[in-house]
């Protein structure tokens, strides 16, 4: 382990030694060829093969039966649309964020209930870590080198959760992409932060939806013209909406219509216009400034923060013990009604 540390093959924490015999157990857990490329970054001229993914999964402490999830996660990540995949080197400090659906959650004991963003579960911790270690060891994304994060996020170590399908009043996330409820599926996001919402005070869905919208519409998160969010509801909050007859689409619509800032709000923080070149937000008096899309709307003084209701993804996870949910800030291209980054988990 000390040798691995000296070679820079870790994320700062000790890793598992990997032998050829142990590696063979991982490769036997998938029907993919060891030399098959799962992910590539052209501007770095580097590729991740199935074998390299297996090496890093073993280093991370995965069990071999976790490896099909890791492979599916890389397949989902490969669909990320951000050109030229430089998002992983962003100064914003983005990280991979993986959501797992389907019966495989029980088979590998992947946590979807209490403490989903915390520690204590090997599958969650090591599957997410396998992605990070490959970004370090295969693509060279080390801090102070190719990883240019200014402050980063704890999700850079690991970020993998399951959906609490059993306590959700709605169909699970992956069925919205056309999969059957019994399919095992990984959805990959690019995450910036996770913000928790304490809302134990109300059983009125409109009030709760506005609380979520107010979190999403904060100006500090508004980098581009529009924002995207993954809403991770606790079962208790999901039941508030479902008990009032709300569907996921009703909640999406409510958040979209309430995620609004005034032009005055945006001018106060210097985000009332867009860059002609990058379309990032900047002050209206900047030489590179151009009007945003809202400026030509019937009410230009009210600026929508999201391109449409589909900019909000919704899932249920966590314990059914308190009114605590989370908004996961995710990157996405606008308009973009659904994330395209998902993959079915397959085993031999």
pLDDT in tens, 228-261: 999 999 999 999 999 999 999 999 999 999 999 9
Question: Which residues are within 8 A (CB) of 132 and not within 5 positions of it... i.e. 6 or more apart?
Answer: 11, 60, 95, 96, 156, 157, 158
Q: Residue 71: which of 104, 48, 46 has the closest Cα?
A: 48
Largest CA distance in the chain: 66
**One pLDDT digit (tens) per residue for the chain, 348 residues:** 999 999 999 999 999 999 999 999 999 999 999 999 999 998 899 999 999 999 999 999 999 999 999 999 999 999 876 544 667 888 888 999 999 999 999 999 999 999 999 999 999 999 999 999 999 999 999 999 999 999 999 999 999 999 999 999 999 999 999 999 999 999 999 999 999 999 999 999 999 999 999 999 999 999 999 999 999 999 999 999 999 999 999 999 999 999 999 999 999 999 999 999 989 999 999 999 999 999 999 999 999 999 999 999 999 999 999 899 999 999 865 444 455 589 999 988
- Separation of alpha carbons 18 and 125, rounded Å: 18
- In angstroms, rounded to a whole number, what is the distance separating the alpha carbons of residues 240 and 249? 15
pLDDT of residue 82: 59
- 39 to 126, 202, 231, 259, 279: CA distances (angstroms): 19, 45, 27, 35, 28
Is residue 172 within 8 A of residue 82, CB to CB? The reply is no
CA 203 to chain centre: 28
Decide: helix, strand or coil at residue 20.
helix
- Cα–Cα distance for residue pair 17/23, rounded to 1 Å: 10
Delimit the domains of the chain by residue range: 2-259+305-344
Give the side-chain half-sphere CA count within 13 A for 297.
12
The residues, ordered by sequence, that sit 6+ positions from 152 with a Cβ below 8 Å of its Cβ are 93, 95, 143
The pTM of this model reads 0.94
The Cα 299–Cα 301 span in angstroms is 6
Whether residue 105 contacts residue 172, with contact meaning beta carbons closer than 8 Å, is answered with no
Residue 233 pairs in a beta bridge with 316
Q: How many residues does the chain have?
A: 348
| Residues 203-233: tens digit of each pLDDT | 999 999 999 999 999 999 999 999 999 999 9
Alpha carbon distance 212, 327 (integer Å): 7
């Amino acid at each position: 382990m000390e040798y691995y540390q000296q070679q820079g093959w870790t994320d700062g924490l000790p890793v598992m030694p990997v032998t050829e015999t142990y590696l063979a157990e991982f490769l036997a857990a998938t029907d993919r060829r060891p030399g098959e490329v799962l992910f590539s970054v052209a501007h770095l001229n580097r590729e991740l093969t199935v074998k390299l993914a297996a090496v890093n999964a073993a280093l991370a402490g995965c069990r071999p039966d976790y490896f099909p999830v890791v492979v599916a996660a890389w397949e989902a990540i490969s669909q990320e649309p951000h050109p030229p995949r430089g998002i992983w080197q962003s100064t914003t400090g983005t990280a991979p964020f993986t959501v797992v659906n389907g019966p495989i959650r029980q088979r590998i004991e992947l946590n979807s209930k209490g403490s989903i963003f915390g520690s204590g579960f090997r599958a969650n911790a090591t599957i997410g870590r396998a992605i990070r270690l490959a970004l370090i060891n295969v693509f060279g994304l080390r801090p102070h080198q190719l990883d240019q994060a200014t402050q980063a996020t704890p999700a850079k170590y690991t970020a993998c959760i399951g959906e609490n399908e059993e306590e959700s009043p709605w169909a699970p996330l992956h069925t919205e992409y056309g999969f059957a409820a019994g399919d095992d599926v990984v959805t990959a996001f690019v995450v910036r932060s996770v913000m928790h919402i304490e809302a134990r005070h109300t059983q009125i869905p409109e009030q709760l939806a506005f609380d979520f919208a107010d979190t999403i519409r904060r100006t500090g998160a508004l980098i581009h013209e529009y924002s995207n969010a993954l809403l991770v509801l606790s079962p208790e909050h999901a039941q508030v909406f479902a008990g009032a007859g709300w569907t996921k689409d009703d909640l999406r619509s409510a958040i979209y219509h309430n995620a609004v800032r005034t032009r005055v709000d945006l001018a106060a923080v210097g985000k009332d216009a867009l860059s002609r070149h990058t379309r990032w937000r900047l002050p209206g008096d900047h030489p590179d400034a151009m009007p945003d899309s809202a400026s030509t709307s019937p009410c230009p003084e009210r600026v929508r923060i999201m391109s449409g209701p589909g900019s909000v993804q919704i899932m249920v996870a966590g314990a059914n013990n308190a009114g605590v949910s989370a908004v996961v800030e995710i990157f996405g291209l606008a308009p973009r009604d659904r994330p395209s980054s998902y993959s079915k988990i397959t085993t031999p």
